Amino acid sequence: MKNKNSGLTKNLILTGVGGQGNVMASRALAGMLVDAGYVVTIGETFGMSQRGGSVMSHLRISPDAVKSPQIPKGGADVMIRGDAAGQITATDWAQMVEPFAERALDILERCAPGMRGKILESRIVSPTDLEAENPNLVGCDQIGGSHRLAQHFLFRPAHGHADGATALKNLYLTGASVWPGAGTGAGPGWLLAQRLAAK
């Protein structure tokens, strides 16, 4: 799709607190831009998207499709940062890490009263700390910046094999390469076990 509006790619980051509408806002904005004739590519980081955690959406607005939804480091033209709770005013992780940790502990304390008092020692690691320790965390994105369709849903690991089936009878795949992928509570193994138990 060609953009009727000429110009270079513009990069916009929306970041905020999970559970307060950050993802919905980015998708609504993207929809309005598409309706206006722009090509919009979205990349979202959901790593800690539960209520109180951080969420980040990358929107790349361009005349034509871009190769990656991930905005290069230092490449944002606009950054919209929201704290719906209105408590954290810092603008970088070095200053935000303590208030965010306190917020997480407050949430934990509400769910498990007395838990805060049982903490003997803590080390708070920010997304930028994680990125510094792991070069695969591109922009703190747990899948290395790849949001290709081939990594999702029925295309993982390949079209027609999302259920772990192979061309060989009674040979199945499981693990991080099979839907729903790694870090999902052993989802691929559980799904395969259900399938085999039904035989």
DSSP line for 4-73: SS-S--EEEEEEEETTSSHHHHHHHHHHHHHHTT-EEEEEEE-TT-STTSEEEEEEEEESS--S-SSPPT
Considering only residues 65 and 198, tell me which one the structure prediction assigns the higher pLDDT.
Answer: 198
Single-letter residue type at 6: S
In angstroms, rounded to a whole number, what is the distance separating the alpha carbons of residues 41 and 36? 14
Name which of 33, 42, 29, 26 is nearest 4 in CA terms: 33
Q: Are residues 127 and 155 in the same domain?
A: no
Lowest mean pLDDT segment, chosen from 84-88, 92-96, 114-118? 84-88
Q: Could you tell me where the beta strands, DSSP code E, fall in 63-199? A: 78-81
Q: What is the pTM of this model?
A: 0.43
Lowest mean pLDDT segment, chosen from 17-21, 104-108, 109-113, 176-180? 17-21
Local confidence band at 32 (pLDDT 50, 70, 90 cut-offs): confident
Per-residue pLDDT at 6 exceeds 60: no
Local confidence band at 183 (pLDDT 50, 70, 90 cut-offs): low
Q: Which residue range forms the structural domain that includes residue 199?
A: 148-199
Residue 1 is assigned to a structural domain of this protein = no
Residue 143 is assigned to a structural domain of this protein = no
pLDDT at 185: 62
Lowest mean pLDDT segment, chosen from 39-43, 52-56, 58-62, 121-125? 52-56
Q: Are residues 127 and 152 in the same domain?
A: no
Considering only residues 139 and 87, tell me which one the structure prediction assigns the higher pLDDT.
Answer: 87
Residue 139 is assigned to a structural domain of this protein = no
Q: Are residues 125 and 199 in the same domain?
A: no
pLDDT at 90: 77
Q: Are residues 93 and 169 in the same domain?
A: no
Q: How many domains does the chain have?
A: 2
Helix, strand, coil shares of the chain, percent, nearest 5, are 30, 15, 55
pLDDT at 3: 37
pLDDT digits (tens, 9 = 90+) for 107-148: 778 777 888 888 888 888 877 787 787 776 666 555 555 556
Considering only residues 15 and 21, tell me which one the structure prediction assigns the higher pLDDT.
Answer: 15
Residue 173 is assigned to a structural domain of this protein = yes
Tell me the mean pLDDT in the region 13-30.
Answer: 74
Q: What percent of the chain lies above the pLDDT cut of 70?
A: 75
Other C-beta atoms lying within 10 Å of the C-beta of residue 151: 15
Residue 14 is assigned to a structural domain of this protein = yes
Q: Are residues 16 and 107 in the same domain?
A: yes
Q: What is the mean pLDDT of the chain?
A: 75
Tell me, what DSSP letter sits at residue 143? T
